[in-house]
Structure 1
Amino acid sequence: MSFTVAIDGPAASGKGTISRAVADHFGLGHLDTGLLYRAVGARMLAGEVPEQAAQRLRPEDLGDPDALRGPEVAQAASRVAAIPEVRAALVDFQRAFARRAGGAVLDGRDIGTVICPEAEAKLFVTASAEVRARRRHRELLERGLEASYEVVLADVRERDARDAGRSTAPMVAAPDAVLIDTSALSIEEAVAAAVAAVEARR
């Protein structure tokens, strides 16, 4: 029997960390769907047509997540995610993973609304733009990358506007999603809130 957990939210809200922790806690598979778009974005930067890159994407293309974490790839991912043909090409990939034997946790922008509207548990993880920018800025510095907080904050706001404003599958909380604002929460507190929310749906 499959059990699907859909976790949505904006960049740097903590949904990736929470999703991995929830998957580990319940023994479920985990898919960071943002990596799909980052992989397509990286291929676009390398000169490929985004629609064709999405159609040819394979699980092994996600083998080195760190190579897909840079700010340039992140912006490219947000741009290709606004292309309806790219999203359509990746839907089946995500839905098949969601219904895998043993259950799954998927995190992204439209999991609870478009990819898995029938998910047994839905969470929407968010935080203020300023908090998210500070997290992303610290992460970039820890990886040895040059970064200005002001530039990171502008990028976060630009991505929010693009993700929430696109015509196809905009980022929005599902009506039945549990909202978790991590602005003032520790990682442990945020994970505990998510685990409790999922447990209530099991």
Structure 2
Amino acid sequence: MNRITIAIDGFSSTGKSTVAKRLAKSLGYIYVDSGAMYRAVTLYAMQNNLIQENCFDKELLITQLGAIKISFKFNEELGFAEVYLNEQNVEKQIRTLEVSQFVSQVATVSEVREQLVLQQQNFGKDKGVVMDGRDIGTVVFPDAELKIFMKASAEIRANRRYKELLERGHNLSYDDVLENVTTRDRIDSTREDSPLVKAEDAIEIDNSELTVEEQLETIKELVNHILSK
């Protein structure tokens, strides 16, 4: 065995994508940000007035799923693949707090999850993939050779997200970000379809006090252990 499937799950803003990107690059694996796919669907819904505060037309979104095309294109300058929605680069648009406020609601729609899970499974059919999200180890790749579940306190996650958004030029308060994080936790953990849960065979990593480099080294040791068997 020289290539495996690595599933990284966990709560929002635990830095899953940052670690997964670097891990994939160091291993020469494909990286897939499953959360970005849900964000792209959410952005589509926002652009087409299907979702806004206190209003979400789920049925109309379901009828338009066939018109939503999501792809990843590698950006050599940035060193990672950016997200495209119907051939338009939406990498920056999907990372806003506005999209974050609605993405968990969109992710509760079974038809949305069903379509995206099929796409995600196709990405990993040849192994050699690192994918992060909420249900990668439980639904998308239940047979993944390595499953990681990342966690940190809501306050630490909110602070990380707050700093990240400020660096991108967004004008918002820490309290708004904390409320968003806790709301997403509740929705992700209580939805009927594929709720956020730790897979029984997942290895838990609390990264509250860990640097990205420390997390990366921990996971690479686990990968090497599996590959050496």
With the shorter chain as reference, the TM-score category is over 0.9
- Please name the residue that 2:11 is paired with: 10
5+ residue gaps, structure 2: 51-59, 72-83
Residues 185 and 71 from structure 1, CA distance in 2 versus in 1: closer, same or farther, beyond 3 angstroms?
Answer: same
What is the CA–CA distance in structure 2 between the aligned matches of 1:52 and 1:97, rounded to whole Å? 24
Q: 2 CA distance for matches of 1:24 and 1:121?
A: 17
Q: Is 2:67 the partner of 1:66?
A: no
Q: Between Structure 1 and Structure 2, which shows a larger proportion of strand residues?
A: 2
Q: Counterparts of 1:119-134 in structure 2 under 5 Å?
A: 119-134=144-159
Asked if structure 2 preserves the Cα contact closer than 8 Å seen for 1:130 and 1:153, the reply is yes
Equivalent pair of 1:54/1:90 in contact (CA under 8 Å): no
Report if aligned partners of 2:37, 2:70 keep a CA contact under 8 Å in 1.
no
CA distance in 1, matches of 2:223, 2:172: 36
Correspondence for 2:21: 20
Residue 105 of structure 2 is aligned with which of 56, 59, 79? 79
TM-score, normalised to structure 2's length?
Answer: 0.83
Cα offset, 1:2, TM superposition: 5.2
2:96 maps to amino acid: G
Written as runs of structure 1 = structure 2, the 5 A alignment for 1:174-189 is: 174-189=199-214
Amino acid at match of 1:30: Y
TM-score, normalised via structure 1 length: 0.94
CA contact (8 A) 1:41 1:50 kept: no
1:153 aligns with 2:164: no
Which of these residues, 115, 125, 128, is aligned with residue 99 of structure 1? 125
The sequence identity of aligned pairs, in percent, is: 40
Corresponding residue of 2:141: 116
SS in 1 for 2:226: coil
Selected match of 1:51 from 32, 52, 62: 62
Offset of 1:194 from its aligned partner? 1.6
Q: List gaps (5 residues or longer) in structure 1.
A: none
SS of 1:5's equivalent in the other structure is strand
Distance across 2 between alignment mates of 1:198 and 1:173? 19
Q: Tell me the secondary structure at the aligned position of residue 65 of structure 1.
A: coil
Equivalent residue number for residue 74 of structure 2: none
Counting matched residue pairs gives 201
Cα distance in 1 for partners of 2:205, 2:130 equals 16
Larger Rg over CA atoms = 2
Q: Is the alpha carbon distance of 1:45 and 1:125 closer, same or farther for their aligned partners in structure 2, counting shifts above 3 Å? A: same
What amino acid does structure 2 have at the position aligned with 1:4?
A: T
Q: CA deviation at 1:135?
A: 0.2
Matches within 5 A, 1:159-198: 159-198=184-223
